[in-house]
Amino acid sequence: MSENIQALRTVNVVRYVTPLREGGSLPAIAEADDGFLYVLKFRGAGQGVKALIAELIGGEMARLLGLKIPELVFATLDPAFGRTEADEEIQDLLKFSVGLNLALHYLSGAITFDATVTVVDPVLASKIVWLDCLLTNVDRTPRNTNMLVWHKELWLIDHGAALYFHHSWDNWQEQATRPFIQVKDHVLLPFATELDLVDAEFRSILTLEKIQAIVSLIPDEWLDNESNPSSAEEMRQVYIQFLMLRIANSEIFVKEAQHAARI
């Protein structure tokens, strides 16, 4: 494992606490056998393991770049876990999520980021915008910021809508060099005035070795369950090549973001 990139811990889910119904994929607060609460992302929800892969890559890349993100852990769900759940929708979700899921440490007392209340430093705003452009993360808008303020610091959550190229593998090379036009809706774009500075810094950090280490964290079972006939290792290589190609052409999405900010 590359320096700064650690293997994720694995916990066992012991108690379903409550659903978070503001999320379209019905994440939930759950307790694990280590005694901590987590926001549990289910493999049986929405976009399935693709959302978990995007969450894993996006979250660990954010951590590598020095941004605040709750600890990510693999969370194992036992087949017997959902049998006593009264809600049929949740029971089905638990049934289809048996096995390895992903969870984020629950930040108790955190509040949703509001750009009209919290002032964000231009460098920090630029770092987050740059990362979301790299990851093609469409889900950081004023309507749904996917950021929390906890202990007076800004924390990133929910990267499941990122890396949407993996919903259509056929033209991933073309998608890797496209501008990210959805950046125009990014909640932090008006504050992201240091993109050139951040671009130079982040390109130096995101080496091939670091990208390989992050992608190697994806469990085989999340890749083997895909309809794509490629092997797990072949699919990891596509993620690596996509990210490296996008980083090498970062001036494309940086210029798009700067243009969108001027409009």
Reported as a single tens digit per residue, the pLDDT across 139-167 is 999 999 999 999 999 999 999 999 999 98
**Domain spans, the chain:** 10-105, 111-262
What's the pLDDT at 163? 96
Question: What is the 3-state secondary structure of the chain?
Answer: CCCCCCCCCEEEEEEEEEECCCCCCCCEEEEECCCCEEEEECCCCCCCHHHHHHHHHHHHHHHHCCCCCCCEEEEEECCCCCCCCCCHHHHHHHHCCCEEEEEEECCCCCEECCCCCCCCCHHHHHHHHHHHHHHCCCCCECCECCEEEECCEEEECCCCCCCHHHHCHHHHHHHHCCCCHHHHHCCCHHHCCCHHHHHHHHHHHCCHHHHHHHHCCCCHHHHHCCCCCCCHHHHHHHHHHHHHHHHHCHHHHHHHHHHHHHC
pTM for the whole thing? 0.95
What's the pLDDT at 79? 87
Please list the ranges in the chain whose pLDDT falls under 50: none
251-261 pLDDT tens trace = 999 999 999 99
What's the pLDDT at 21? 66
Backbone angles phi, psi at 221, to 5 degrees: -65, -25
What's the pLDDT at 98? 94
What's the pLDDT at 81? 73
